Structure 1
Amino acid sequence: MNKQAHYSADHPVSIALTGMAIALRTGRDLLEALAEWAEAAGVRPYSDYFDDAARLAGMPYCRALDLYVDRETKRRADRLGYHQAHLALCSA
């Protein structure tokens, strides 16, 4: 993704930044805030486009777990593969 001078409201960068700001201001869950703002911007929550915004906000979608998780958990799950990905949720 290249830097731009302006991002439309439905761009993943705008959704990520606004979602993070909402979560910080209100104390709400980051994923909830991202989903709320994405929907308000016309982006279907949990779509591929939403996944880009979640990744930028630090909560990438992990296909092996079918969850949005922190980056380190995603790395562990990806390393373990589908058959053992659930072990990534255990403390290291």
Structure 2
Amino acid sequence: MTNAIEILGFVAATLTTAAFLPQVYQTWRTKNAQSLSLYMLLIFFVGVLSWLVYGVLINSMPVIVANVVTAILTFMLLFFKYTYKN
């Protein structure tokens, strides 16, 4: 049963993390981050880092992996927001 729960966690982590890929790609491709909310990205980034710490504390690989990748993608969006100022 534990393996099924871990698999479900990895599936959920993959889907929610992958949801950011189109936004990162579109922002990079268009070089336009004007429509991205800086405050939303900052709040989300802090939340993702909090989930990452939580995942480490409970030793949950799906939570850790998903939030490491999501933190990187969110950081990229923050970088684009700063770099592509209009």
Same fold (TM over 0.5): no
TM-score bracket, shorter-length normalisation? 0.3 to 0.5
Higher helix proportion, which one?
Answer: 2
Higher strand proportion, which one?
Answer: 1
- Greater RCO between the two (CA within 8 Å, min separation 6)? 2
TM-score (norm. length: structure 1): 0.32
TM-score (norm. length: structure 2): 0.34
